[in-house]
Structure 1
Amino acid sequence: MPFPTSLLPVSVWLAPGSNPVDPSTWVWQDITDDVRITAGISIEEGRADEGNKVDPSKCTLTLDNRSGNYSPRNALGQWYGQLRKNTPLQVRVDQGVDTFGREVTNGWGTSDSGHEWEVGTPSAYLVDGAAGLVTLATDNLATYSRLVDGGALDVDVEYVASINAVTTGAAWRSGVLARYIDNDNHYRLYTVFDPSGEIYVRIAKVVNGSIPVLVGGVPTGVTYASGTKIRTRVQVSGSSLRIRCWLDGTTEPGIWNASVEDSDLPRGSGVGFYQSRVEGNTNSGAMAVSIDYYRAAALLFTGTVPEWSVRWDKSGKNCTGPIVASGILRRLQQGASPLRSPIYRQLTRYNPTAYWPMEDGNDATTAASGITRGVAASGTDVSFAGDDTLPGAATAAKLNTAGTSRISGRVTNPANTPNGYAGAAYFKLDSLPVTEKPLLEFRGTGRVTRWVIGCAPTAFTIKGYDADGDQVDAAAGFHTIDPTKWFAMQLETQEVGGTTEWVLIWHQVGATIFYALPGDYTGSADRIISFTAYAPTDSTSVAHVWIGDNDLPFVDGTFMKISNGYSGELAADRIARLCAEEGVPVLVEAGETKAMGPQKVAKFLDLLRLAEDSDGGILFERGAGLQYRPGRARLNPPVDLALDFDLGHVDDAPEPTDDDQQMGNDWTVTREGGSSARVIDQEHVDEFGRYEQSITLSLARDRGLRHQAAWRVFLGTYDDMRWPSISLNLARNPFLVPTWSSLVLGARMTVDHPPDQVAGVDVDVLVAGRKQVLKPKLWTAELNCEPARPWDVGTVVEGPEQALTTGRVQTNGSTLAADVVAGAGSLSVASTGRLWTTNADHFPLTIVVGGERMSVTAISGPASPQTFTVIRSLNDVDKDHDAGTPVEVYLPIRVCL
Structure 2
Amino acid sequence: MGVHQPRVELQIGGTWTDVTAPVRMEDGLRHRRGRGSEGARVDASQTTLTLNDPTGRYNSRNPRSPYYGLLGRNVPMRYSVDGAVVALSVPAGQAGRAFCANHATFAVTDLDIRADVTPVAWTGLRTGLAWEVCGRWVTGDASWALLVNDDGTLSLWWTSDGITQRTATSTVPVRFAPGERAAIRATLDVDNGASGRTIVFYTAPNISGTWTQLGSAVVQATTTSVWPGVSLFQVGDVSDITTQAVGRLIHAVQLRNGIGGAIVANPSFNSQTSGTTAFSDSQGRVWNAQDAGVITSRRFRAVAEVSEWAPRWHISGNDVRAPLTASGVMHRLNQGRKPLRSALTRGMPTLGPVAYWPMEDGSDATLAYSPIPGVAPLAVSGLRMGSDSTNPASDPLPTVATGASMVGVVPTHTATGWAVHLLYRVSSVPSTTGAILRWTTSGSPWRIWTLNFGNNIATLTADDGLGALTLVVSSGMTGVFDGTWHRLTVWAIPAGPDLNIVSNLGSTLLTSTTMGRVTGINTDFGPALDGKVSFGHISVFGAQVFDYENYDTAWHGEIAGARVARLCAEESIPVDVWGIDDGQQAMGYQRPGKLLDVLGESESADGGILLEDRDQLGLVYRARTTLYSQAPILTIPYGHLAEFGPPRDDDSRVRNDRTVRRQDGGYGRWQQTTGPLSVAQYPTGVGIYDDETTLNLSDDSQCQPLAQWMVNLGTVDEARYPQLTIYLHKYPQYIDAVTRLDVGSVVRVTGLPTHLPPGPLDLLVEGISDDVGSESWTLNLVCSPASPWVVALADLAKASSSGSTLASSVSASATSLSVATPSGPLWSTSAGDWPISIEIGGEVMSVTAVSGSSSPQTMTVTRGVNGFAGAHTAGDAVTLAQPAIAAL
Sort the TM-score into its range (normalised by shorter chain): 0.7 to 0.9
Q: Is 1:621 equivalent to 2:612 in the alignment?
A: yes
The CA RMSD over aligned residues, in Å, is: 4.7
Q: Who is 2:9 aligned against?
A: 13
Q: CA deviation at 1:299?
A: 1.8
**One-letter code aligned to 1:627:** V
Amino acid at match of 1:52: A
Residue number in structure 2 paired with 1:27: 15
Q: What displacement does 1:851 show?
A: 2.7
CA contact (8 A) 2:429 2:532 kept: no
The alignment status of 1:532 with 2:511, answered yes or no, reads: no
Q: How does 1:496-895 map to 2 (within 5 A)?
A: 500-505=499-504, 519=510, 521-532=512-523, 539-551=531-543, 553=545, 555-556=546-547, 559-591=548-580, 592=582, 593-622=584-613, 623=615, 624-646=617-639, 648=640, 650-682=641-673, 684-685=678-679, 686-687=681-682, 688-796=686-794, 804-805=797-798, 808=800, 810-811=802-803, 834=823, 837=826, 840-841=829-830, 846-854=837-845, 872-879=863-870, 888-895=879-886
Return closer, same or farther for 1:319/1:499 CA change in 2, 3 Å cut-off. farther
Q: What is the alpha-carbon distance in structure 2 between the residues aligned to residue 141 and residue 737 of structure 1?
A: 40
Q: How does 1:294-313 map to 2 (within 5 A)?
A: 295=296, 297-313=298-314
Equivalent position of 2:485 in the other structure: 486
Q: Name the CA shift for 1:272/1:71 in 2 (closer, same or farther; >3 Å).
A: farther
Distance verdict in 2 for CA 1:755–1:551, change over 3 Å: farther
Deviation at 1:580, TM superposition (A): 0.7
Distance in 2 (CA, whole Å) between partners of 1:58 and 1:257 is: 35
The structural deviation recorded for 1:58 is: 1.2
In the other structure, the counterpart of 2:209 is: none
Partner secondary structure for residue 452 of structure 2 = strand
Aligned to 1:324: 325
Residue 325 of structure 1 and its aligned partner are, at CA, apart by 0.6
Residues 627-659 of structure 1, C-alpha deviation per residue, up to 9 Å, x if partnerless? 22222232111222222235x3x3345533323
> How big is each residue's C-alpha offset from its partner over 1:11-68, in whole Å with a ceiling of 9 and x where there is no partner?
2111135xxxxxxxx5322222222234332221111124522111111111112121
* Residues 823, 59 of structure 1: alpha-carbon distance in 2 compared, 3 angstrom cutoff: same
Within-5 A mapping of 1:403-414: 405=402, 407-412=404-409, 414=411
Alignment partner of 1:55 out of 43, 50, 69: 43
Q: Aligned partner of 2:251: which letter?
A: G
Change in 2 beyond 3 A, CA 1:413/1:425: closer
Q: How do residues 447-486 of structure 1 correspond to structure 2 at under 5 angstroms? A: 447=444, 448-455=446-453, 459-471=457-469, 474-479=472-477, 482-484=480-482, 485-486=484-485
Whether the 8 Å CA contact 1:493–1:550 is kept in 2: the answer is no
Deviation by residue 1:201-243 (Cα, 9 ceiling, x = unmatched) = xx99676464699xxxxxxxxxxxxxxxxxxxxxxx99xxxxx
Distance in 2 (alpha carbons) for counterparts of 1:71 and 1:575: 38
Q: Which amino acid aligns with 2:579?
A: A
Does the aligned pair in 1 maintain the 2:26–2:773 contact within 8 Å? yes
Tell me the residue number matched to 1:378.
Answer: 380
AA in 2 matched with 1:312:
W
- In the alignment, the residues of structure 1 paired with residue 6 and residue 635 of structure 2 have an alpha-carbon distance, to the nearest angstrom, of 25
Q: Is the 8 A contact 1:310 1:319 kept in 2?
A: yes
- In 2, Cα distance between equivalents of 1:27 and 1:190: 33
What is the alpha-carbon distance in structure 2 between the residues aligned to residue 88 and residue 261 of structure 1? 29
Specify the SS of the correspondent of 2:45.
strand
Instruction: Quote the offset at 1:492 in angstroms.
Output: 3.2
Matched, 1:391 2:370: no
Letter in 1 for 2:568: C
Pick closer, same or farther for the CA change 1:732–1:529 going to 2, 3 Å: same
1:465 is displaced (CA, Å) by 0.3
List per-residue Cα deviations over 1:175-226 (Å, max 9, x = no partner): xxxxxxxxx985469999xxxxxxxxxx99676464699xxxxxxxxxxxxx
The 3 A distance-change label for structure 1 pair 423 and 137 is closer
- Tell me the distance in 2 between the aligned counterparts of 1:809 and 1:362: 65
Shift of 1:868: 8.1
Normalised TM-score (structure 1) = 0.72
d(CA) in 2 for partners of 1:355 and 1:821? 81
Label 1:191 to 1:212 Cα distance change in 2 as closer, same or farther (>3 A): closer
- Secondary structure of the equivalent of 2:598? helix
Contact 1:92 1:300 in 2 (8 A): yes
Q: Which amino acid aligns with 1:895?
A: A
d(CA) in 2 for partners of 1:446, 1:751: 78
Distance (Å, rounded) in 1 between the aligned partners of 2:842 and 2:732: 35
Q: Distance in 2 between matches of 1:773 and 1:273?
A: 39
Give the Cα separation in 2 of the matches to 1:308 and 1:261: 41
Distance 1:734 1:895 in 2: 38
Deviation of 1:469 (Å): 1.4
Distance 1:499 1:867, change over 3 A: closer
* Amino acid paired to 1:489: L
Q: Equivalents in 1 of 2:55, 2:310: separation in Å?
A: 14
Cα deviation, residue 579, structure 1 = 1.0
Q: 1:701 to 1:576 in 2, by over 3 A?
A: same
Report the CA distance shift for 1:518/1:704 in structure 2 as closer, same or farther (over 3 A): farther
Encode CA deviations 1:299-332: one digit per residue, 9 max, x unaligned.
2210101121111123221111111111111112
Asked if 2 retains the 8 angstrom alpha-carbon contact of 1:492 and 1:550, the reply is no
Change (3 A) 1:54 1:666: same
Match for 1:527: what amino acid?
A: V
Paired amino acid for 2:73: K
1:309–1:371: structure 2 CA closer, same or farther, 3 Å change rule?
A: same
What is the letter of the counterpart of residue 411 of structure 1?
G
Aligned twin of 2:52: 64
Cα displacement (A) at 1:407: 4.6
Are the aligned partners of 1:493 and 1:525 in contact in 2 as well (CA < 8 Å)?
no
The question of 1:438 aligning with 2:426 is answered no
SS in 2 for 1:693: strand
The SS at the match of 1:72 is: coil
Contact 1:357 1:543 in 2 (8 A): no
User: Distance between the aligned counterparts of 1:784 and 1:377, measured in 2?
Assistant: 57
- The answer to whether residue 421 in structure 2 is matched with residue 424 in structure 1 is yes
Question: Could you tell me which of 48, 58, 64 is aligned with 1:76?
Answer: 64
Letter in 2 for 1:578: L
Indicate conservation of the 8 Å contact 1:492/1:504, yes or no.
Answer: yes
**Matched-pair contact (CA < 8 Å) for 1:615–1:631:** yes
- Residue by residue over 1:808-860, the C-alpha shift from the partner in whole angstroms, topping out at 9 and shown as x without a partner, is 4554xx778998775567889899x8367366448776443443334566698
1:40 corresponds to 2:21: no
1:380-423 deviation digits (Å, cap 9, x = unpaired): 4x444433332322322233xxxx64653222564354455432
* Counterpart Cα distance in 2 of 1:29 and 1:778: 24
- Quote the Cα distance in structure 2 between the aligned partners of 1:528 and 1:355: 13
Deviation at 1:289, TM superposition (A): 5.5
Contact 1:569 1:595 in 2 (8 A): yes
Identity rate, percent? 29
Contact 2:422 2:538 in 1 (8 A): yes
Query: TM-score when scaled to structure 2?
Result: 0.72
- Aligned partners of 2:354 and 2:413 also within 8 Å: no
Instruction: Check 1:795–1:478 CA distance in 2 against 1; reply closer, same or farther (3 A cut).
Output: farther
CA-to-partner distance for each residue in 1:648-690, whole Å, 9 max, x for gaps?
3x33455333233432222111112210112222552334343
Could you tell me how far apart the structure 2 residues matched to 1:57 and 1:189 are? 37
The change in CA–CA distance for 1:438 and 1:500 in structure 2 (over 3 A counts) is same
Give me the whole-angstrom Cα distance separating, in 1, the residues matched to 2:692 and 2:628: 23
CA offset digits 1:144-181 (Å, max 9, x no partner): 9x9999x97579xxxxxxxxxxxxxxxxxxxxxxxxxx
Q: What aligned pairs does 1:331-350 form with structure 2 within 5 A after superposition?
A: 331-349=332-350
